[in-house]
């Protein structure tokens, strides 16, 4: 599967955070998140392992009992089932890969197959 860059296709995740699924396969799904300064990703957990890379910006990421100020170029891995959240300190862009595939992040046309 190939996906060419486009400026559209984002959908709201929560207030101040938008996401767009870039590509997905049988076992993984890659998503881009646009994170607005001042927004908060509330602590939550899901069964998916989640690996991320901060392309641009600055966030304070909490994973379990650990906290990290992440800047552009930093990365992380969140085991499935571990509570995590983030404070967005600057407008930021993150790329994250989920395994297994997050069905709720599949593009609408795929959901109907």
Nearest to 68 by CA among 48, 87, 96: 87
Residue (of 9, 10, 13) closest to 44 by Cα position:
13
Please tell me which residue, 109 or 83, carries the higher pLDDT value.
83
pTM: 0.91
pLDDT at 1: 81
CATH number, residue 90:
2.60.120.10
What residue numbers bound the domain in which 93 lies? 12-104
Instruction: Give 74-101 pLDDT, tens digit per residue.
Output: 999 999 999 999 999 999 999 999 999 9
**Inside any domain, residue 48:** yes
Cα–Cα dist 84/100, whole Å: 18
Number of domains in the chain: 1
Whether 71 is covered by a domain: the verdict is: yes
């Amino acid at each position: 599967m190939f996906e060419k860059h486009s400026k559209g296709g984002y959908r709201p995740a929560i207030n101040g955070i938008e996401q767009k699924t870039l590509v997905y396969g049988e076992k993984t799904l890659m998503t881009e998140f646009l994170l607005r300064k001042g927004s908060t990703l509330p602590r939550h957990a899901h069964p998916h392992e989640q690996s991320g890379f901060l392309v641009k910006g600055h966030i304070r990421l909490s994973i379990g009992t650990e906290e990290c100020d992440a800047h552009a170029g930093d990365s992380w891995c969140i085991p499935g089932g571990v509570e995590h959240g983030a404070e967005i300190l600057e407008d930021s862009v993150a790329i994250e890969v989920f395994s297994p595939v997050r069905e709720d992040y599949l593009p609408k046309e795929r959901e109907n197959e």
